[in-house]
């Protein structure tokens, strides 16, 4: 049996044990996703709380034949994007353009990555547009499969795949930009 | 040598390729050192992305969230109970009213016959009693509802 479905059924009956089970399994990755998408801890905490409230309120709309995680992340996504649009309506798909690449070589990307430290990776991810950060977080931090990722984004699987590809390509640009030129040679 | 698969390497590290694309990548990596190096770099990026953050919601945030959801569930349960109770009371009141009509009609009819009074007068009094009772109940319900609404707004 799927524990998420059991707990969702409990929550539908207003049983708080259902909520406890769902939160225990999903709260950490949900919070990381919100942190990555919003880039702001206070906003992530606020949306985190709103998300679970909305889950409790709308649990009767959850289709138990489908996995719970994409539905949960979709609820969180809608709330987070609403907040982000209020603050910066034009910037969800935009990031600062990278400066010129720091150097060239036979395989600069491989060298940049080899030298990469997690803080640099974090910085590079932080420079991406919110919607690029989002798709990377859903795939790598929340560990959603491509199909679940598509369900969360509310798009067909090929579109989700294209967004993932685009986010990774932009991350590559940022990593190349941030690798110190001297370390490349 | 097969064609380079550079475009597929990032998605390969992300585990987002279909079976055919995966086979294409695997076949090419065996014979191309450049693509194999790039693929290894992407695998490191993918692993790094998975371990980027160990952030967790604070205990205070989790506790606040649980408290808010529990309050919502309690309110929802109370609303459902109130609806059920109200439905029962309305049904009970109607049953009582209809039953009392039969009883009063019998008693009043018997009395009217004994006292030689017209039966319609008793019926008129009964109708007036019913209307007054329902009006009083309606006014009381409106007062109680308004007060509950005000208390909810203040809370």
Mutate to test the interface with A, among B41, B50, B75 (most CBs of A within 10 A): B41
Average the pLDDT over B73-82 and give the result.
85
Contacts of B5 in chain A (CB under 8 A): none
What integer pLDDT is reported at residue A115 of this predicted model? 53
Mark out chain A residues that contact chain B at CB-CB < 8 A: 14, 16, 19-20, 23, 27-28, 31-32, 35-36, 45, 48-49, 52-53, 56-57, 107, 109-110, 112-114, 116, 118, 121-122, 125, 136, 139-141, 143, 145-146, 161, 164-165, 168-169, 171-172, 175
Q: Do B14 and A168 touch (CB under 8 A)?
A: yes
Q: Quick one: pLDDT at residue A182? A: 37
CA distance A120 to chain B (A): 10
Alpha-carbon distance of A71 to A55, in angstroms, equals 9
Domains of chain A: 3-87 (1.10.1740.10), 108-184 (1.10.10.10)
pLDDT given for residue B108 in this prediction: 66
Contact A140 B66 (CB under 8 A): no
Handedness of CA B117, B119, B125, B129 (dihedral sign): positive
Q: What is the DSSP letter of A64?
A: T
Query: Min CA distance, A88 vs chain B (Å)?
Result: 24
Residue of B nearest to A55 (CA): B69
Question: Does pLDDT of B1 surpass 60?
Answer: no
Residue B136 in contact with partner chain A when CB distance is under 8 A: no
Q: Is B84 on the interface with A (CB under 8 A)?
A: no
C-beta of residue B121 within 8 angstroms of C-beta of residue B112: yes
Distance CA B47, CA B51 (A): 7
Task: Give the separation between CA A98 and CA A109, rounded to whole angstroms.
Answer: 15
pLDDT at B155 over 60: no
Query: Which pLDDT does position B118 carry in this prediction?
Result: 63
CB of B58 within 8 Å of a chain A CB? The answer is: yes
ipTM for this model? 0.74
pLDDT single digits (tens) B113-136: 666 666 666 677 777 877 888 788
Q: Residue B83 pLDDT > 80, yes or no?
A: yes
Tell whether B27 is within 8 A of chain A (Cβ).
Answer: no
Q: What is the pLDDT of residues B14-60, one digit of tens each?
A: 999 999 999 999 889 888 888 898 899 899 899 989 888 778 899 99
Distance CA(A56)–CA(B70), nearest Å, equals: 9
**Is the Cβ pair A116, B48 closer than 8 Å?**
yes
CB B42 within 8 A of CB B10: yes
pLDDT per residue as tens, chain A (185 positions)? 789 999 999 999 888 899 999 999 999 999 999 999 998 899 999 999 999 999 999 999 999 899 999 999 999 999 999 998 888 766 666 665 444 444 434 566 665 665 555 678 888 898 899 899 999 999 999 999 999 999 999 999 999 999 999 999 999 988 887 665 433 22
Angle between helices A146-153 and A68-87 (to 10 degrees): 40
The pLDDT score that the predictor gives to residue A107 is 62
């Amino acid at each position: 049996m799927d524990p998420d479905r059991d707990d969702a059924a409990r929550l539908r009956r207003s049983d708080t044990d259902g909520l406890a089970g769902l939160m225990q399994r999903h709260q950490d990755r949900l919070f990381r996703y919100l942190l990555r998408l919003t880039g702001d801890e206070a906003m992530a905490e606020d949306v985190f709380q709103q998300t679970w409230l909305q889950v409790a309120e709308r649990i009767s709309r959850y289709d138990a034949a489908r996995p719970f995680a994409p539905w949960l992340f979709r609820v969180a996504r809608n709330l987070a994007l609403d907040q982000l649009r209020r603050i910066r309506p034009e910037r969800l798909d935009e990031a600062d353009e990278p400066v010129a690449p720091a150097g060239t070589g036979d395989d600069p990307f491989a060298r940049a990555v080899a030298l990469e430290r997690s803080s640099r990776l974090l910085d590079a991810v932080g420079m991406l547009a919110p919607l690029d950060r989002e798709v990377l977080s859903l795939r790598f931090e929340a560990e959603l499969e491509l199909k679940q990722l598509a369900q969360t984004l509310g798009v067909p699987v090929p579109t989700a795949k294209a967004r993932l590809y685009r986010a990774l390509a932009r991350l590559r640009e940022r990593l190349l930009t941030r690798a110190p030129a001297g370390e490349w040679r | 040598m097969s064609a380079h698969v550079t475009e597929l390497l990032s998605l390969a590290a992300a585990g987002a390729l279909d079976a055919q694309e995966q086979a294409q990548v695997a076949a090419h990596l065996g014979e191309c050192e450049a693509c194999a190096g790039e693929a290894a770099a992407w695998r490191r990026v993918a692993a790094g992305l998975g371990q980027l953050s160990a952030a967790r919601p604070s205990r205070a945030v989790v506790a606040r969230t649980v408290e808010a959801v529990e309050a919502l569930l309690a309110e929802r349960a109370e609303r459902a109970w109130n609806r059920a109770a109200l439905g029962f009371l309305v049904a009970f009141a109607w049953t009582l009213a209809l039953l009392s009509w039969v009883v009063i009609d019998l008693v009043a009819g018997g009395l009217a016959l004994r006292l030689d009074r017209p039966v319609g007068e008793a019926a008129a009094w009964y109708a007036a009693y019913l209307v007054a009772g329902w009006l009083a109940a309606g006014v009381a319900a409106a007062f109680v509802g308004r007060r509950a609404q005000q208390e909810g707004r203040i809370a």
